[in-house]
Amino acid sequence: MAAQIQRSRFRGIKRRELLKLMPGLALGAFAIPKLQMPLLKAGLGFSDWASARLFRDGHLASTFSRSDLTPFERFPLNTYDVDDPGVDLEHWALEVTGAVQKPGHYTLSQIQALPKVRQNTRHVCVEGWDVIGRFGGSRLRDFLEMIGANPGARFVCVECADDYYESLDWATAMHPQTLLCYEMYDQPLTREHGAPLRLSIPTQIGYKHAKYLTRLKVSRVLEGAGYWEDQGYSEFYGL
């Protein structure tokens, strides 16, 4: 009996000591150059997976009163390339492709014919700043219903006039606060803020809010997660 107790204690000590060593072993692995990138990708992939599983369709981002709004002139401009890629606003149309019943080109007036939503929500930038803005537009899910998007699809991918590109998982695309945004502060989008159409996604980080939209594709397969995601940033950066 005494020998069994000793063996049990020994196994317990070994497990405790191993757990104590794990952080050091992990840091040591990061010190090996060949292991750094695979470990970072694995950690980021796990974080994206966990965030997506925790995402709740009915969970709404916080909304705010008008008195909480950041003044429009103090809303930062943060662009991928240029503040104005020269979109021809008069002849603009959104090209729709992929797993939809009604592909084609959709004008801004067609998108604006859908029910309008205005919401005061927080815009959070990965650089560390955040502001509260007023955004108006059509729910992306209403637009997806209008074009007959296949409910078995998994992603909505967009391309932009400045060559930026982004993707949304299906749950985020169908979230009631995800907008095809054509207004800010009850006025049409300015060129600097993404005219004529941008994404507004208060449940995700700012680089998901693509501006100057020109093309939207509904897809079962993700060909490119997004400009920053393909540089190593998170694919699902939920707030």
Q: Which helix (H) or strand (E) holds 112?
A: helix 108-112
171 lies in the same domain as 222: yes
**Distances 88 to 85, 123, 157 between C-alpha atoms, Å:** 9, 27, 22
**Is residue 87 helix, strand or coil?**
coil
Domain of residue 105 covers: 58-231
Q: Specify the pLDDT at position 239.
A: 72
Considering the entire predicted model, what is its pTM? Answer: 0.78
206 lies in the same domain as 130: yes
44 lies in the same domain as 62: no
How does 55-74 read in b/e, with b if 16+ C-beta sit within 10 Å? beeeeebeeeeeeebbeeee
88 lies in the same domain as 13: no
In a domain, 237, yes or no: no
Phi and psi of 148, rounded to 5°? Answer: 70, 45
In a domain, 239, yes or no: no
Asked if 197 and 182 count as a contact pair (C-beta separation under 8 A), the reply is yes
| Domain's final residue, options 15, 34, 50 | 50
| Lowest model confidence (mean pLDDT) among 6-15, 59-68, 93-102, 109-118 | 6-15
In the chain, how many domains are there? 2
Tens of pLDDT along 126-149? 999 999 999 999 999 999 999 999
In a domain, 217, yes or no: yes
